[in-house]
């Protein structure tokens, strides 16, 4: 309840409120000081690798029409009866092999927390209490709805929503934004909002990728014959229907190549994580690395620019399955270059994108 004797600077009363504190009715709700929220959003991850945690997570993820766009009439029986009776076991085993047992969570969760803490420290140092920084997930916990509600409750009358995907796809950025707007539908005091555009070509992001390649190459005795930039795939049909993801991935690779000052034959673009029988974006990483080995490229490095943090698709799929495919085809040296995670250059890049998107709101 509003304490009518308190002063605005005691933290309960918004200076922009037209009603003076001493005139406010006794049952007037508390209004915290206005601030700007920066809400980072990642994909989501299961709460555990047991069957039911995996089933809940995969069920929510794969029921999203932005991810799998088949008619629910056909897809739901197949998903509920066939896929969700098998995949939680195989994916659960894969998650178990990479799980952060100490923290009791997946690497994606640990890294997203670390990124949020660093971004928060930077922005707090610049803007103090005018800013609130947090993260949410599109699927699972912490939910987008709970975090939007918390930000509004804490006085965020403006929110910048930042899906952590450098390249935009319907299956990632668009569905994260959908969920953000769904959450806003439930708020009585709706904040002004901005959604952060893709940053696949942002000089600071390209620079962070280039520095991570340079750092990794500097530790090697022999330079790799080629760098494979492996992006998460989507069905090819999504590209044909207008999804910008493919073009943005190609452009990231080109800009990275130019920033490194390399010729075309030093770097290539591939797509991984195919799911289901449809054709996905090609070339498939798992096949391409085997082809490279057969064509005499015996030393390769792989980087995954579409992932802002290491996760099942990088630590297990690239560093285990794709490595195996390369070695079985005669490859000799396979180096996986970790995602940008909470590297300082990555945090610099993310903060720069945030500053651009809070222009006029902060500072």
Ligand X SMILES: C=CC1=C(C)c2cc3[nH]c(cc4nc(cc5[nH]c(cc1n2)c(C)c5CCC(=O)O)C(CCC(=O)O)=C4C)c(C)c3C=C
Tokens encoding 258: 């130019």
Q: Which residue is nearest to Fe ion (CB)?
A: 247
The answer to whether 309 and 341 are in contact (CB under 8 A) is: yes
Tell me which H or E stretch contains 145. Answer: helix 144-153
Q: Is 187 annotated as a binding residue?
A: no
Q: Are 190 and 204 in contact (CB under 8 A)?
A: no
As a whole number of angstroms, the distance between CA 328 and CA 135 comes to 40
Q: Is 246 in the site for Fe ion (CB under 5 A)?
A: yes
Q: Compute the least distance from the CB of residue 282 to Fe ion, in Å.
A: 12
- Beta-carbon contacts of 47 under 8 Å, excluding residues fewer than 6 positions away, are 53, 56, 57, 140, 141
Q: Which of residues 151-210 bind Fe ion (CB under 5 A)?
A: none
| CA dihedral of residues 90, 303, 334, 323 (deg, nearest 10) | 20
The stretch among 127-135, 143-151, 242-250, 346-354 that binds Fe ion (CB under 5 A) is 242-250
For residue 313, say whether it is annotated as part of any ligand binding site. Answer: yes
Q: Give the 3-state DSSP-derived string for 31-89, with helices as H, strands as E and coil as C.
A: CCCCEEEEEEEEEECCCCCCHHHHHHHHHHHHCCCCCCCCCHHHHHHHHHHHHHHHHHH
Residue 246 interface partner, choices ligand X, Fe ion, none, CB cut-off 5-8 Å depending on type: Fe ion
271 is a contact residue toward ligand X (CB under 6 A): no
Q: Which does 247 bind (CB under 5 to 8 A by kind): Fe ion, ligand X, none?
A: Fe ion
Q: Per CB under 6 A, does 252 bind ligand X? A: no
Show contacts with ligand X in window 30-69 (CB under 6 A): 43, 45, 58, 62, 67-68
Query: Binding of ligand X at residue 162 (CB under 6 A)?
Result: no
Each residue 308-337 as x (binds ligand X by CB under 6 A) or -, in order, gives ---xxx------------------------
Give me the residues that bind ligand X (CB under 6 A), please: 43, 45, 58, 62, 67-68, 87, 91, 106, 108, 165, 169, 171-172, 232, 234, 245, 273, 275, 306-307, 311-313
């Amino acid at each position: 309840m509003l304490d009518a004797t308190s002063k605005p600077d005691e933290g309960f009363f918004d200076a922009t409120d037209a009603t003076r504190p001493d005139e406010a009715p006794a049952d007037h709700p508390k209004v915290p000081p206005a601030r700007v929220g920066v809400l980072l959003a990642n994909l989501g991850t299961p709460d555990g690798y047991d069957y039911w945690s995996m089933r809940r997570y995969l069920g929510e993820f794969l029921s999203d029409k932005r991810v799998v766009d088949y008619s629910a009439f056909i897809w739901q029986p197949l998903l509920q009866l066939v896929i969700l009776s098998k995949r939680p076991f195989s994916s659960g085993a894969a998650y178990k092999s990479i799980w952060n047992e100490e923290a009791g969570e997946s690497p994606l969760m640990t890294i997203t927390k670390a990124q949020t803490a660093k971004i928060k420290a930077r922005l707090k140092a610049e803007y103090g209490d005018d800013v609130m920084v947090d993260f949410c997930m599109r699927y699972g916990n912490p939910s987008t709805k709970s975090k939007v509600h918390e930000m509004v409750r804490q006085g965020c009358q403006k929110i910048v929503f930042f899906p952590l995907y450098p390249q935009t796809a319907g299956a990632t950025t668009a569905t994260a934004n959908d969920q953000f707007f769904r959450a806003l539908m439930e708020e009585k005091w709706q904040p002004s909002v901005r959604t952060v555009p893709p940053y696949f070509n942002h000089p600071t992001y390209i620079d962070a990728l280039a520095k991570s390649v340079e750092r990794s190459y500097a530790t090697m005795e022999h330079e790799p014959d080629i760098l494979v930039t492996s992006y998460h795939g989507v069905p090819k049909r999504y590209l044909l229907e207008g999804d910008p993801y493919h073009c943005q991935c190609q452009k990231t690779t080109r800009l990275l190549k130019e920033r490194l000052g390399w010729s075309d034959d030093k770097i290539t673009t591939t797509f991984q994580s195919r799911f289901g029988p449809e054709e996905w974006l090609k070339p498939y990483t798992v096949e391409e690395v085997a082809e490279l080995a057969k064509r005499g490229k015996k030393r390769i490095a792989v980087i995954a620019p579409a992932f802002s943090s290491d996760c099942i698709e990088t630590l297990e799929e690239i560093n285990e399955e794709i490595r195996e495919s390369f070695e079985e085809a005669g490859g000799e040296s396979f180096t996986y270059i970790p995602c940008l995670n909470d590297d300082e250059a990555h945090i610099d890049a993310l903060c720069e994108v945030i500053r651009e998107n809070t222009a006029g709101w902060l500072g």
